Amino acid sequence: MPRAPRSLPSPANGWAVWGLRMLALAAAFAAVDYLASLTSAPGSGIAGIWVPGGIGLAGLLLGGISLWPALVIGGLAAAPAYGVLGASTVPVVLANTAAAVLAAWAIRRMGTDIRLGRIADVARFALGCLVGAVPMGAVGVAALLALGPGETDPTGSVVALWLLSTATGFVVVGGAVVVLWLRRADPLPARRAGEAALGLIAVAVLALGVFVDDRAGLTLLLLLVTALVAARMGPRGASLTAVIVFGFAAAAVVAGGGPFGGDSVVGRSLTYQTAVMVIAVGLQGLGALGSGEPGASPGVPGTALTVGLLAAGGLALGLSEGIVTPEVILLAPKAQVTLIGLLMCLVVVVGAVVGTGLRGHADDLRTAPGRWWAWAALAGVALFGTEELFLMSLATIDVTRAVVLASLAPVILLVVAMARQELRVTAGVITGIVLVLIGFYAIAPGQGVFSGFGAAGLWFGLASSACAAVLVLSLFQCRRTAGTGASLLVTFAVGAAAAAVLCAALGVLPGPEVWGREEVMGGILYVGIVGTLVPVLLATWAVPLLGAAWVSLFEVLAPPIAVVAALAWGESTIGGWQAGGIVLLLVGASVAARTHAAAHGDDAGAAAP
């Protein structure tokens, strides 16, 4: 695995080489930073699309952390382009440099092979990028708001954009540069090279149509082709594909088009940064699957990392449920949202399955017993039920209450275990149930949910949670027999089919007008990929190690994230009693899951933490 130098070279072994490398990196960083400044609002030091960090991170990973002065020089050289020179300039440049240094250190510290040929390395790389981007980005934006010009907008959107754009630059640009450089000499057969060229051209054409020509109806086809190309070409193809999507989407943000909501560069960039970063990490993961290297397949690398990834799934689910989903259901019928979202997930899974080779997945399907097919079909129906019932709950009660009610899968699993007489009634069980009941009573009043139509929202939320529990249990049973790809293929196919049947019965099948509305497709893209595929993929992947009970616990992480996000974006308000009830619900669900994992022998998993 390539290693970065740990210290500055001595005069005897290459000061001149180090100096030339530093100047080259500084020049590249300054040039890209200047281009990024073109996406900033007038008089603002915050770029709508900030990618120089990726160049800086790649330089530190490839040439050594000792090259960090290049980022300071390049950042100061490009600072005048933002038009906000002042007391904040040096602190902001130093914070940006520290972000890249901290990310490079974290990536190396975790033992990451930056060739990104394994799923575990992709996860470590993304985690290292966040470790650098979030704290140092917060320092940078604090310096700008404290010392910068008064017209700088100190809102949550500005802070979120700063952190997201830094992380996106690290993941997309930094990941692409290091992979393409380190794998530049890898052989590529002529047939595969031709296939790769055609695939990348297809990605570019589709990205042009979706992001520049505003043909949102091509979104599903773009997702399918990008998944195929990334899985077939390996890490290099995944990197190039991510950069193509990133570039065309950036052009759309600056020009005011593409499937991104918002009337300003900042508003559009928030959606853009999140969607592109998640897609880029997914493409890097597909590239790792297609690398053919030992350990490339998504074997669970350890309990700690698995729990961390499930926490990331809870974060993704919470942001989707708290911010995007309430907006999306105002733009299209709920059944349409469910159908289009599940179709997006299905085409990505199909692209991954075909791209990584059909033989292994076909063998899983051919040898799977009838019981496996029943569990997979049940998982698909439960997935559909979880999505649709949550949307119906959102239509009648406050988003904060709907999210909490829809995230009680661990408690549902506890009740199932007790009903099957597989769990002793202990102090922990009683405590968990009591806390959940008190919390439930605290959050329910205040909107008339115990009478009239509001009661429907309450029961829809609980039913959604029950479906989530069934989904996790079903996936646990499926993964005992077949791999992740086969399990997800059948699950999403059945879920999408159920949604299509409902749309047909209601007469709301999505027509051309829906596929062409960029605000609808952009929102559903986020809900489908971030709020559905990512959590379900991580849950399917982790159940063999942790079991259904512990995997379901990530549902408990979604409510606080969703509640905070909804409050920050002005979508909801809660009182003191409701806030206390949410806390009690979360604590009670956590106690329930821990007790369940300890006593529910046949699905507790081999190694619960």
The larger pLDDT score, comparing residue 289 to residue 437, is at 289
For 550, list phi and psi in degrees, rounded to 5.
Answer: -70, -35
Give the integer Cα–Cα distance in Å for 603 and 609.
14
pLDDT for 490 equals 95
Banded model confidence at residue 88, pLDDT cuts 50, 70, 90 = low
pLDDT for 148 equals 60
Highest mean pLDDT among 137-151, 178-192, 288-302: 178-192
- What is the per-residue pLDDT across 426-456, written as a single tens digit (0 to 9) for each? 676 677 777 777 776 666 554 444 445 567 8
Average pLDDT, integer, range 236-242 = 92
pLDDT for 604 equals 39
pLDDT for 298 equals 56
Average pLDDT, integer, range 156-172 = 75
pLDDT for 11 equals 45
Give the integer Cα–Cα distance in Å for 50 and 56.
12
Contact 300, 306 (CB under 8 A): yes
Give the integer Cα–Cα distance in Å for 558 and 315.
6
Average pLDDT, integer, range 526-555 = 81
* Percentage of residues in the chain having pLDDT higher than 70: 73
Average pLDDT, integer, range 221-250 = 89
Banded model confidence at residue 606, pLDDT cuts 50, 70, 90 = very low
The larger pLDDT score, comparing residue 6 to residue 530, is at 530
Could you tell me how many residues make up the chain?
Answer: 609
- What is the per-residue pLDDT across 380-426, written as a single tens digit (0 to 9) for each? 999 999 999 999 988 888 777 787 777 777 777 766 766 665 556 66
Average pLDDT, integer, range 500-511 = 92
Mean pLDDT of the chain: 78
For 37, list phi and psi in degrees, rounded to 5.
Answer: -65, -20
Banded model confidence at residue 342, pLDDT cuts 50, 70, 90 = very high
pLDDT for 267 equals 59
User: Across-strand partners of 47?
Assistant: 40
pLDDT for 605 equals 40
Residue 475 predicted with pLDDT over 50: yes
For 9, list phi and psi in degrees, rounded to 5.
Answer: -70, 155
Banded model confidence at residue 147, pLDDT cuts 50, 70, 90 = low
Give the integer Cα–Cα distance in Å for 170 and 207.
21
The larger pLDDT score, comparing residue 216 to residue 21, is at 21
pLDDT for 424 equals 61
- What is the per-residue pLDDT across 241-277, written as a single tens digit (0 to 9) for each? 999 988 887 777 666 666 655 555 555 666 677 778 8
pLDDT for 495 equals 96
Banded model confidence at residue 8, pLDDT cuts 50, 70, 90 = very low
Full-model pTM: 0.78
Classify burial at 183, counting beta carbons within 10 Å of its beta carbon; exposed 0-12, middle 13-18, buried 19 or more.
middle
**Strand, coil or helix: 332:** coil
pLDDT for 9 equals 46
DSSP state of 47: B
User: Across-strand partners of 40?
Assistant: 47
pLDDT for 469 equals 87
pLDDT for 472 equals 87
Residue 296 predicted with pLDDT over 90: no
Q: What stretches of 265-406 show up as alpha helix (H) in DSSP?
A: 265-289, 303-319, 325-328, 334-355, 358-367, 370-394, 399-405
Banded model confidence at residue 193, pLDDT cuts 50, 70, 90 = confident
Give the integer Cα–Cα distance in Å for 66 and 242.
28
